[in-house]
Amino acid sequence: MSLQVLDSFYEGKAKTLFNTSDPTLIVQYFKDDATAFNRQKFGQIAGKGVVNLAITKALYKLLESKGVKTHLVDTLDERRMVSRRVEIVPLEVVVRNRVAGTFAKRYAVPEGTVLPAPIVEFFLKKDELGDPLITAEAAIAIGLATPQETQDLDRLARQVNEILKAFFLALNIELIDFKLEFGKLPDGTLLLADEISPDSCRFWEVGTGKKLDKDRFRQDLGGIEDAYAEMLRRVQSAT
Ligand code: TMP
Ligand code: ASP
């Protein structure tokens, strides 16, 4: 691919985004920087960028093969992904299969409680406000999405959940919850954007309940690099 990487135009918490010689494409550089609780906690996880890009690429290829459109185009090397330029929908879409994290805290429900059916939640993507929970109705009212888009986000998130739950279960991993971000092409088509990785999912090993995701960093459990490497090993054994 004879794509020239130009200037950076966005510095995120875990990725830096670059313009390219093709106005419809961008390059995302996956960093080792880790933050939690809206940057109150920050550090580095050695090799994280490499693991997260490899896992995201494998999962996006799997999802594409099942008909879910993503922004993935290609990779340039082990830290740089070429992706479609999209307008990011300012909603984080979280799917939960078991209670954990902020859901456990918000409703005082024990971590690990199995939910009778998956729950989809929207959060407003706004760091200054700490990414608050938002209803679909409020998101529509303040112009963040159309009614059709909120329905599409909900449907796509549930579809991704079914595909990934089955994929990870075959690797002896239970997908507890995860966060998705979506972007829009100029014609309005919704694409899965950002990443799906141990940063954006909770993964518990079946049987032991061992956490193999960013909760090891959030909760100072240690063994973070090993957990990320273990997730990559399992994903690569299946793809
Ligand atoms: P939560 O329990 O903290 O709301 O997180 C739910 C899921 O979303 C969990 O798998 C972690 C992921 N997540 C992110 O990827 N980014 C975020 O900023 C937050 C708050 C959660
Ligand atoms: N990624 C978010 C942050 O930095 C929250 C989290 O993952 O816990 O702060």
Instruction: Return the pLDDT at 239.
Output: 84
Q: Considering only CA atoms, which residue is closest to atom 9 of ligand 2? A: 38
**Ligand 1 binding pocket includes 234 (Cβ within 6 Å):** no
Ligand 1 atom closest to the Cα of residue 38 is 18
**Ligand 2 binding pocket includes 210 (Cβ within 6 Å):** no
Name the amino acid, one letter, at 145: A
**Ligand 2 binding pocket includes 13 (Cβ within 6 Å):** yes
Candidates 218, 197, 175, 207; CA nearest to 47 is: 197
Query: Could you report the per-residue pLDDT of 145-176, keeping only the tens digit for each?
Result: 999 999 999 999 999 999 999 999 999 999 99
Ligand 2 atom closest to the Cα of residue 199 is 7
**Ligand 1 binding pocket includes 178 (Cβ within 6 Å):** yes
Name the amino acid, one letter, at 108: A
**Ligand 2 binding pocket includes 38 (Cβ within 6 Å):** yes
Supply the mean pLDDT for the chain. Answer: 97
Query: Which residue stretches of the chain have pLDDT < 70?
Result: 1
Percent of the chain predicted with pLDDT > 90: 98
Gap from CA of 106 to ligand 1 centroid (Å):
13
**Ligand 2 binding pocket includes 19 (Cβ within 6 Å):** no
Q: Do the beta carbons of residue 5 and residue 18 sit within 8 Å?
A: yes
| Inter-CA distances, 96 with 68, 127, 147, 175, 206, Å | 19, 22, 22, 9, 17
Instruction: Return the pLDDT at 1.
Output: 60
Q: Is 5-84 in CATH node 3.30.200.20?
A: yes
**Per CATH, the architecture of 87-223 is what?**
2-Layer Sandwich (3.30)
Question: Domain extents for the chain?
Answer: 5-84, 87-223
Gap from CA of 21 to ligand 1 centroid (Å):
33
Would the pTM of this model clear 0.95, i.e. be above it?
yes
Name the DSSP class of 208. Answer: T
Candidates 212, 192, 194, 190; CA nearest to 203 is: 212
Nearest ligand to the C-alpha atom of residue 37: 2
**Ligand 2 binding pocket includes 40 (Cβ within 6 Å):** no
Instruction: Return the pLDDT at 38.
Output: 87
Give me the torsion for CA of 19, 35, 205, 210, rounded to 10°: 160
